[in-house]
Amino acid sequence: MLKTVITEHNPKNLPITHAVIWLHGLGASGHDFEPIVPELGLSDDVGVRFIFPHAPQIPVTINGGYIMPAWYDILEMTLDRKVDVTQIAASAAAINELIDEQISAGIPSQNIIIAGFSQGGAVAYHTVLTNTRKLGGLLALSTYFATASEVPSVGVNQDIAVKIDHGDFDDIVPPVLGVKAKETLQNLGLNPTHTTYPMAHQVCLAQIKAIGEWINELFAKS
């Protein structure tokens, strides 16, 4: 089981009925997005658990084989991103264990959002779009759909809400890859939203506010 950072938004001390599993990017940790939770402006009427897993320490080819936190190896930084797809599948399986853990704690799968930034977003795409359980949403931040060729169709999550965000000036994951992911999902029959912000490979305050509104909207329905 992956090690995690867990924080909750629950000012009214309600039962925890919803969860967000949020994956960090290359070289970061589960603490990376933890400070965002209080900034989201979440409703006080829903008890939400945030799970921020730590990626395993593995050698990363594009960094000279340096061992660092990574969800999978990146072999080449070409536009189409040569990556180790078997490691993406393994990371998705590890996220599925976290999903199972939350289901065992009483949270329905359809109340669980999977979010990811950069590398974490690629794993989030794979986790959600290959899942056998109906999930609550997919949040893809400054990322790309690395395993599109491995996902010819989507099963129970055909109607899932998908929010794709990207920076206009992202020089790590070019914005065109966010557009390509949106188009790929549309071809699979999904209806993702795609929003860009005047930023680099990061998140910004306006985006965080919009993410909070999106989460509130989804969780109000479930």
Tens-digit pLDDT profile for residues 160-210: 999 999 999 999 999 999 999 999 999 999 999 999 999 999 999 999 999
Which secondary-structure segment (H or E) carries 218?
helix 205-221
For residue 47, the domain's CATH number is: 3.40.50.1820
The single residue of 118, 165, 166, 194 carrying the catalytic annotation is: 118
Helix axes 85-104, 119-129, angle to 10 degrees: 70
Share of the chain above pLDDT 90, in %: 97
> Any idea what the Cα angle at residue 119 is, between residues 114 and 125, rounded to 5°?
40
pLDDT at 81 (0 to 100): 82
Query: How many domains does one find in the chain?
Result: 1
- CA-CA-CA-CA torsion for 115, 149, 91, 62, nearest 10 degrees? -100
For residue 39, give its domain range. 4-220
Any alpha helices (H) in 22-151, and if so which ranges? 85-104, 119-129
Classify residue 216 by its DSSP letter: H
The single residue of 29, 43, 54, 201 carrying the catalytic annotation is: 201
Q: Write the pLDDT tens digit of every residue in 34-55.
A: 999 999 999 999 999 999 999 9
User: What gap in Å lies between CA 206 and CA 164, rounded to an integer?
Assistant: 14
Whether the predicted model's global pTM rises above the 0.75 cut: yes
201 is catalytic: yes
Reply yes or no on whether the pLDDT at 80 is more than 90.
no
Average pLDDT over residues 105-129: 99
DSSP track, 126-143: HHHHT-SS--SEEEEES-
Reply yes or no on whether the pLDDT at 222 is more than 90.
no
The single residue of 9, 91, 170, 194 carrying the catalytic annotation is: 170
CA atoms within 13 A on the CB side of 20: 29
Average pLDDT over residues 118-138: 98
| 3-7, 78-82, 105-109, 110-114: the lowest-pLDDT one | 78-82
pLDDT at 177 (0 to 100): 97
